[in-house]
Amino acid sequence: MSFKGVLVKAEAIAEKVKADVAKAANAVDGVTAKLATDAPEIEAVANALMPGSSNFIALGLSALEALADVLNSGNAAAEQNLKDAGLDEALIAAVKAQIANIAKLV
């Protein structure tokens, strides 16, 4: 096989992967909608396993959203205030890395 043949084959594989990723992304949207529809049942199961867990999850998401909002503001003083208040720097870094994903959750 020639070098050009390898490149053509690699390009075809890349296009297939791109199509598969797009298909998976569409499937995620459908699953997310289904989960939203089934939320009351999911919450009931979660609460049966651990009473109050749905409240803890909602509280956690609210806290993450608020923290992400502060960190996303780009205000260095606000971030320093979080550190001064005792918030772990590794947690701050983890939240900053996940800001885009947190925004999708709420």
The secondary structure of 72-85 as a DSSP string is HTT-HHHHHHHHHT
Phi-psi region of 41 (alpha: psi -120 to 50; beta: other; left: phi over 0): alpha
With beta carbons less than 8 A apart as the criterion, state whether 79 and 92 touch: yes
pLDDT confidence band for 106 (50 / 70 / 90): low
Q: What share of the chain is helix, strand, coil (3-state, %, to 5)?
A: 85, 0, 15
Model confidence band, residue 99 (pLDDT cutoffs 50, 70, 90): confident
Tracing tokens 């959203």 back to the chain, one arrives at 65
DSSP 87: -
pLDDT of 14 strictly over 80: yes
pLDDT value for 29 = 67
pLDDT tens for 58-79 read 888 888 888 888 888 878 888 8
Q: Is 38 helix (H, G, I), strand (E, B) or coil?
A: coil
